[in-house]
Amino acid sequence: MSDQKCGDWAKGLLIGGLVGVIIGLLYAPKSGKETRDELSEKAKDVASKLKDEYDVALDKSKSAYENLLKKLKEVEAKAEKKAQEMGGGSASQS
């Protein structure tokens, strides 16, 4: 998952959670204190879920970065070996 997609997904989760909380508040026949307590709990839940998703996305991006570096080093080693083979082969033919 690309960083842009992860960011968009996280924004969507946050906005969706907030919209859900607001709609719940508008239709809740509870006292102000009860509503504030519930809002606080739901906000904590949304923040916790968002943090968990962020951590997962961060771990995936780190892993992808490490894999990319490994593959680039392998390509570099192959290219260097090939260059040495080509350079060594032409020098021995002279």
The alpha carbon dihedral of 72, 74, 78, 80 has a sign of: positive
Domain boundaries, the chain: 3-93
**Residue pLDDT, tens place only, 55-89:** 888 898 999 999 999 999 999 999 999 988 888 65
Number of residues that make up the chain: 94
Q: What pLDDT sits at residue 25?
A: 72
Q: What is the pTM of this model?
A: 0.48
Q: How far apart are the first and last CA of the chain?
A: 52
**Residue pLDDT, tens place only, 11-21:** 888 888 888 87
The per-residue b/e assignment along 40-63, b for 16 or more CB within 10 angstroms, e otherwise, is eebeeebeeeeeeeeeebeeeeee
